[in-house]
Structure 1
């Protein structure tokens, strides 16, 4: 007991040595709060307390944040407003912005929420799609602007930091409830109540939208067949779809096959890094859909007469000192600092159907249960995944009634 009473009398150099072994600035804050002598002796941590993404884990008692720098340990920080604690989260952006579907009144309200400032930017809950109509005097059938329809956002990203002055363009992968349509992509100026559907829409399973990222002025959309669509937003109205935004599309045949089998056990994520576009492929175990391995590819130019065949995915054998975090719409690359290189993944099995591995939200907006236990880290082959976050597969409490896990970007 006498020894325990002397903890607040540890020499300052010992305390600073202990603090130097804490990789996460948040842990250093907790250390300085233990007692007055420690607070006085321990240097204040850097102003930027969050240097790598946190994993928002949708626990039953409210979200908690898994920390990569702390080896996956959770920070139980009360960062979310009350009405967002039970939201469905579907992406994030730098500066602690979260894409959230707030529940209330029997429907979801899509919102971009900042956890630092509390600022909120409403997102479209409807989109103006294209429908086939037989119009007198025009070839039949003819694509014309259709009526507004409710949508469910599955993943989203932005062209720049969020503003509502018309400069920031948003893109999202959507599904429409009560239809059998495959996931598709829409675009809008941030702050606009209406999103418009992109061009070059194909409803075949192999060309369904799987992930999206923004790089060098274009939104890249990865299909289930691992082909690419590259969308450019133009500052001009679209005569067919309306609004003040027109989007044009280039298609690149980059996948292994235009029509992959529906049960192909892998998911792809687009990651901008060092001016290049990477694709991380996460392979699943067929038994339960859990992560089995990851592979890395880079988009490279190819000499070909067909413009659609001028890009290809090339296998990369090394992460070259990078730390990658992957998730639908919010994958990022970081130069390794304070921890080993590797690919950090989250459990998006609810995003993919466990049997067919196609997008889950085909008929409804809320599956009622989101699994979130298959989160961890994996190096490139022959390495196997490590489940470094608190909730592990096959444990109780590894599903959520309100949201899948999502990365919170610093």
Structure 2
């Protein structure tokens, strides 16, 4: 009788051995199979998580003689501002959210900040608001990988003429808080001479609803001066650093090109070039919700986001390319630029957002096609709807809702986070 339990133990051991022979442990996968799995993970974060699954898998990748295919650069992440904090959705992973970081990893002071845009290397411009008054307490560049931050100015100094005789007007210096609507950098954050070009809103100002232009360096405090639009058609909507200068897109679809110069204790000086674009045959059957500037294949593109009527979801896009000007002989030598509509996206994948639009080539991403990806950056009565996002394809022309649904946010719009 005592031998029967031992016999059962031996039988079970043999059964386990046969099972291991038939179904070997995941850790024993051949290196080539491990590499094949890795090739099917185009997202950087998925690949980083892959290496943490099993030590033997990590070792297999490093074995000599196992080639790894080149993977295309990471596509932008969509930041969705949920109630518990922001999450980040990855297009390469089918719209799945990635905890890089999780909402609880983000410092509490930044967890419900307003995301203004991105400045590359998974860094974002944030505005931290004083909720009762709705005035930003500070602006920062937030590093989503290292969870560190770099302080930006939150007040602006500007000169105004004091009341009096025209010949004896005296400049008075004012200090006011401001918020950033959109911004971009001239170079990387850590590079010498980095300048921020921003579209801002002033507080406690007679026409505070009208956007202004401002420039500053990362270590400046405060911002020295701002620049206003001479007419409504020159009010700015988007900004892009292109060909060594800041390009500001206006409501009239003109461009203001600015190259700032800074002086200790003095107002910022800017060399401006106002580029007038003739209307030509541009006529839009739908309402233009937003306008964006995108650099693609060395060209400057104008992207229009349209809907049937104001307040309705995005339904269509139009894309134009800037055409180099000719000086007319009979127009007082006024140089007129032109926007030429593109017949197709021609293999482009465009990600549009204020201050952070990017262009990618669909051919570099197997399974992807020409498309325009967009996020919901609207503000309605101090709320951010966060519902009008997705991608627009041209064959056939349609909008696809490819991201998880979310409720409106009370602290931030959606933005792209560029890798």
- TM-score (normalised: structure 1): 0.80
Among 247, 259, 274, which residue is 2:297 paired with?
274
Answering whether residue 43 of structure 2 is matched by residue 24 of structure 1, we say yes
Q: Structure 1 residues 16 and 368 mapped into 2: Cα distance closer, same or farther (>3 Å)?
A: same
Contact kept? 2:199, 2:213, Cα under 8 Å: yes
Rg larger in structure: 2
**Structure-2 separation of matches of 1:345 and 1:58:** 15
Displacement after TM superposition at 1:104 (Å): 4.9
Q: Structure 1 residues 115 and 77 mapped into 2: Cα distance closer, same or farther (>3 Å)?
A: closer
Aligned to 1:96: 122
Contact kept? 1:67, 1:73, Cα under 8 Å: yes
Q: Structure 1 residues 29 and 112 mapped into 2: Cα distance closer, same or farther (>3 Å)?
A: closer
Q: Which runs of 5+ in 1 are unaligned?
A: 354-366, 392-396
Q: Structure 1 residues 8 and 160 mapped into 2: Cα distance closer, same or farther (>3 Å)?
A: same
Contact kept? 1:298, 1:316, Cα under 8 Å: yes
Q: Structure 1 residues 244 and 224 mapped into 2: Cα distance closer, same or farther (>3 Å)?
A: closer
**Structure-1 separation of matches of 2:108 and 2:221:** 24
Q: Structure 1 residues 325 and 24 mapped into 2: Cα distance closer, same or farther (>3 Å)?
A: same
Q: Structure 1 residues 398 and 256 mapped into 2: Cα distance closer, same or farther (>3 Å)?
A: farther
Answering whether residue 408 of structure 2 is matched by residue 399 of structure 1, we say yes
Answering whether residue 37 of structure 2 is matched by residue 8 of structure 1, we say no
Aligned to 2:212: 184
Contact kept? 1:56, 1:406, Cα under 8 Å: yes
- TM-score (normalised: structure 2): 0.79
Answering whether residue 156 of structure 2 is matched by residue 133 of structure 1, we say no
Displacement after TM superposition at 1:284 (Å): 2.0
1:327-362 deviations in Å (ceiling 9; x for gaps): 011111223322333221111122xx6xxxxxxxxx
The one of the two structures with greater contact order (alpha-carbon pairs below 8 A, sep at least 6) is 1
CA RMSD of aligned residues (A): 3.4
Answering whether residue 340 of structure 2 is matched by residue 314 of structure 1, we say yes
1:16-48 deviations in Å (ceiling 9; x for gaps): 433322222322343444455655556699999
Between stretches 209-218 and 281-290, larger displacement belongs to 281-290
**Structure-1 separation of matches of 2:393 and 2:74:** 21
Answering whether residue 346 of structure 2 is matched by residue 323 of structure 1, we say no
Aligned to 2:386: 372
Among 217, 222, 238, which residue is 1:194 paired with?
222
SS of residue in 1 equivalent to 2:128 = strand
Paired residues in the alignment total 379
Q: Structure 1 residues 17 and 245 mapped into 2: Cα distance closer, same or farther (>3 Å)?
A: same
Contact kept? 1:294, 1:380, Cα under 8 Å: no
Displacement after TM superposition at 1:399 (Å): 1.0
Between stretches 86-95 and 74-83, larger displacement belongs to 74-83
Among 97, 100, 109, which residue is 1:77 paired with?
100
Contact kept? 2:238, 2:291, Cα under 8 Å: yes
Structure with greater helix share of residues: 2
